[in-house]
Structure 1
C-alpha cells in the first residue's frame, strides 16, 4: 500500500511560508565551523550545538567537528568555536586561560544584547530579561554580569521580581521568543516598573519576527501546519505554538520520517515552514514525503525578502568583510 492510499489522507496542496529556514546568523555560524575545518583541519571543537538542529550538527560531526559542553574536554591549543547562542564571560575567560584558538560564532544580534547589558551596567542599571530558563542564549546573556539580571519567563513572574521601585532598570529579551508573548510580558514589566528602559530596537531578531509573521499569514489558509525544526530549537517551537494559537493544528518534525499520515487525515491543504536553524534540504525532503502522501501541488506564499548578511570573523579566509558579504548574497 502506498502512502497516498492511506485511509483518510486526501492531501492535495502544500503551502510554503515565506520566509522560512536559515537566517543570516545561523548561516554565518555554520560557515565559521566549516571554514575552520578546512583551514585548520579536524578536529574543531564547538561549545554547545552550533545551532539547534540535529541534521546540521550531525553533518558537521561527519566533517570533523566535536561538540562539547565542558571546556575541560578540549585539549590545550585546540581550535574552539562558540555557538551562535553566545556564551557567558566566565566561559570566555576560561577559554582564554586554557589557551584555545577561539572563533566566536555568536549571532551578532545576540552580541548586540550583550553589548547593551555591559554598557547599561556601567551606568548603574539592573535588568529584567524576558526568556526561557536554561536556554543557552539566556545563560550567555545572564552570564555577562555576576548579578543584577532578573529572568522572567511569563507574566506571573513579573510580580515576583524583588526590586525597589526606584531601581534603575532596563529590559532585554531572548532573540527567539514569541513576539506576541514577549509583548505581553513587556507590558506587565512596564505596568509594574513604569520607568523601565526599553531597547532602542526590540531584541527579538528580524528572522524570528519574519517567520512568525509568515505563519500568521499561512495558518488561516491551511488545515494543518508542519514546522521543520529540532525539539531544542526555541524559534521552531514558537512557530508551532503560534499556528496552534491561531486555531490550526500544528506539528514539528526533525526529519521527513517524523511526518505521520494520521496528522493529515481529512485535510487537503498543509502549510509548511521551517525554523531559522533548519536547512532547506530538510524542507525539500518533507515536500517529497508530502508528495508521496498524495500532494499534487506546491504553492509558495509571498513574503519578506531577507537580505541581511553578517561578516565572518577575521582569520577565516582571506576575503575582506565587504567581499564576504557580497559572496553570501
Structure 2
C-alpha cells in the first residue's frame, strides 16, 4: 500500500486573513530609514531603541549593519548616523545628540509627531494635559518628554479616568497614545467628558489610522472563527490590543505569537476556522510562515476579508532622501 494512502487525512481548516494587517506607513518609513542610511552612509548605523517592536525586523537590520542601543551614551563619538525610533523620543534626546555633534536622524512616525505638536500647543495655551496611554511605553515616554515636568497627568484605565485630579478643570485638554484600544479609549474619553465639560479635544483623534483599521478588521472576522492568531511582539502595544479586540468581538481563543515556532498546538486542536492578522510592526513574511505552519497540519483554504483599503505614505526624513549624500 502507498505510504500516502496510510497517512491520515488532514482536517479541513478555513483561514480568514484580516486586511489590512501588518506594516503601517510609519513602520515602513522607519525601517526604510535605517536601510537607506546604510545604503547612503554605510555601516554602522546606530539606532536608539528598537526601530519598531519586532524581533525579526531588528535582527534583520542588525545583520545589515545596524547597531541598536537603548541610550545615546552607548553611542561612541562618531559621524555615523544615529536614528531615533518610530515611537518618538523626549526632547532631551535630540538636544543631547546635538550637544555631541552626532548626525541624528528622527524616524518618529508623523502621527506621533502630531500628538507631540498638539501637546505643545495646549501647553502654550496654559492647559494641563491628560495623556491617555500606558506607563513606560516608549511613545508615552517620548510624549511626556516634550514638555516640562508636571505638564501631563497619565490616565491608563477607566477607573483612573473616574478619579484623576487636575489642577484646573476649566483649563484642560487630552491627547492619547496612537496604538491604544479603540473601545477602552472611547470609554475613558466618555468618562472624562462627563467629569470635565470644558475638556479640549484633538482636532482629529490621536489613535492612528492603522491601529483603527487593524482593530476594525479583527472585529469583522473574530465572530466567524474558532481561534485567532495575532502575529506580533509581546511588547507591541498595537498587537496586544488586536488580541484583546478579538476576544471582545467573540473569539475567546485569541493568541499573540511572534513566529511559527511559538505556536502552542494543543490550543488549536479541533478548530475548523482560524483568523490571522498581524500588528503594525510585523512583516508579511511572518504571516506567511504562520499560515504555512497550519497548512502542514490542516487542509487549509485561505480567504482574505478586507474591511478597508489603505494608501497612506510618509516620505523619508530629509537627510535620507536620494540626493542627501551628494
State the superposition RMSD in angstroms: 1.9
5+ residue gaps, structure 2, are none
Out of 145, 148, 151, the residue aligned to residue 154 of structure 2 is 151
In structure 2, what is the Cα distance between the partners aligned to 1:285 and 1:234? Answer: 22
Bigger mean CA deviation after superposition, 39-48 or 133-142: 39-48
Q: 1:316 matched to which residue of 2?
A: 320
Matched, 1:300 2:277: no
> Structure 1 residue 98: deviation in Å?
1.4
Q: 2:58 matched to which residue of 1?
A: 57
Change (3 A) 1:164 1:70: closer
Matched, 1:226 2:229: yes
> Structure 1 residue 70: deviation in Å?
1.4
Q: 1:97 matched to which residue of 2?
A: 99
What are the Cα deviations for residues 241-266 of structure 1, in whole angstroms up to 9, with x where unaligned? Answer: 11112221101110111122212111
Change (3 A) 1:166 1:254: closer
Structure 2 contact 231–287 (Cα < 8 Å) conserved: yes
What SS is found at the alignment partner of 2:289? helix
Out of 246, 250, 264, the residue aligned to residue 247 of structure 1 is 250
Structure 2 contact 220–307 (Cα < 8 Å) conserved: no
Structure 1 contact 14–295 (Cα < 8 Å) conserved: no
Alignment coverage as a number of residue pairs: 317
In structure 1, what is the Cα distance between the partners aligned to 2:202 and 2:310? Answer: 22
5+ residue gaps, structure 1, are 321-329
Out of 207, 210, 221, the residue aligned to residue 207 of structure 1 is 210
What SS is found at the alignment partner of 1:12? strand
Q: TM-score, normalised by structure 1?
A: 0.92
Structure 1 contact 6–261 (Cα < 8 Å) conserved: no
Q: 1:269 matched to which residue of 2?
A: 273
Matches within 5 A, 1:83-94: 83-94=85-96
Structure 1 residue ranges, 4+ long, deviating more than 2 angstroms after superposition: 158-162, 164-167, 317-320
